[in-house]
Amino acid sequence: MSELQTTNQNQLPATGIKGLSSFLNQDNVKAKFAEILGQKANGFIASMLSAVSQNEMLKNADQNSIYLSGMMAASLDLPINPNLGFAYLVPYNARQKDGTTKQVCQFQMGAKGFRQLALRSGQFRYLNESDVREGEIKNHNRLTGEIEFEWIQDTKERLSKKVVGYLSYFQLLNGFENTLYWTVEEIDAHAKKYSQTYKKYGTGLWKDDFEGMAKKTVIKMNLSKNAPLSIEMQKAIVSDQAVIKNDNFLKEETVDIDTQYVDNEEVVIDVSAVNKASERERVVAHIEKSKTIQQLEECLPIPDDDLDLIVMYADKKKELSPKTK
């Protein structure tokens, strides 16, 4: 646990917006934000206080969890104004070991936040997410997984159609592209699996903003599984929808984040596997979609211990090699 937390753990100011204001305006707390945000620090702290003042549950949430959620947003350089949709401070009643409940603050990413982090990497040519309306799926090849869409061009006609799903699409500068499409039913099942609040009570962000959460889900899943992940993106994926327990993530080039997924205690993210698994899936997709040997070689090097991937690469290279008579 950080020195800041240890120092303040037993002498937190009174709860409520005034108590939080006193806590966030301590010299050592302000210094932490200034170290990350420079001259933007005071404005960011003010935006945190504004976000909390608009939510009655957040006003009484554990101040340390609010501070750490805000610090995560600051480290990712994402605003937490709820009207902007980049990142959120979300209250939650967390059950304690003694059976009592305690109000805490979760850090949550928005679709715009994931998009912003991806674009900062400088590796994307296109990145978009959209709803899909009834009648816009022309063909779905179950064998290859490819879906052909036929978009309704008339806006008025399109908006009159039922939403049947959501998609995320990206294309990298090297030409690799991927589309992820989930039906409304698949997204609803995902929400109920990872949010006990939504599953049991039908409340929370999934109830209040299903479309926003659906778009956030498809872009998060598409990027985490198929795109190259920066350190910032790894931090965002691991900390999304979690109560953050310490500020170890402030160390450079690390995704060592102590998290608690209070809305679903069964969720456990293996931090070390996040980038490795997504990179492998991206390489597999790249090999499958390569049209030339030059495109194929862009996925090198392949790990020496991944025999299946080595064989897959060799077979594809043989397929693309000019046939000799």
H helix runs in the chain, sequence order = 3-8, 17-24, 27-37, 41-53, 56-59, 63-75, 111-120, 155-159, 184-194, 196-201, 205-208, 210-226, 231-239, 271-289, 293-296, 307-320
Confidence tier at 167 by pLDDT (50, 70, 90): very high
Task: Give the per-residue pLDDT at 10.
Answer: 44
Task: Give the per-residue pLDDT at 165.
Answer: 97
**Does the pLDDT at position 298 exceed 90?**
no
Task: Give the per-residue pLDDT at 15.
Answer: 65
Q: Comparing 47-61, 110-124, 200-214, 227-241, which segment has the lowest mean pLDDT?
A: 200-214
Residues 136-159: b if buried by 16+ CB within 10 A, e if exposed? bbeeeeeeeeebebeeeeeeeeee
**Does the pLDDT at position 265 exceed 80?**
no
> Which is higher by pLDDT, 195 or 38?
38
- The burial class, CB within 10 Å (0-12 / 13-18 / 19+), for 253 is exposed
> Which is higher by pLDDT, 180 or 15?
180
127-156: average pLDDT: 94
**Does the pLDDT at position 181 exceed 80?**
yes
Task: Give the per-residue pLDDT at 267.
Answer: 41
52-71: average pLDDT: 91
Task: Give the per-residue pLDDT at 14.
Answer: 54
125-146: average pLDDT: 93
> Which is higher by pLDDT, 95 or 3?
95
Q: Tell me: the pLDDT tens digits for 1-29? A: 444 443 344 444 456 888 899 999 999 99
Average pLDDT taken over every residue of the chain: 84
**Torsion angle of the four alpha carbons 39, 43, 48, 53, in this order, in degrees rounded to the nearest 10:** 160
Amino acid at position 185, single letter: E
Task: Give the per-residue pLDDT at 323.
Answer: 66
**Does the pLDDT at position 93 exceed 90?**
no
Task: Give the per-residue pLDDT at 220.
Answer: 94
Task: Give the per-residue pLDDT at 5.
Answer: 45
**Does the pLDDT at position 194 exceed 90?**
no
DSSP per position, 190-208: HHHHH-HHHHHHS-SHHHH
98-105: average pLDDT: 81
For residue 301, whether the previous peptide bond is cis, meaning omega lies within 30 degrees of 0, is yes
> Which is higher by pLDDT, 246 or 70?
70
**Torsion angle of the four alpha carbons 100, 103, 108, 110, in this order, in degrees rounded to the nearest 10:** 120
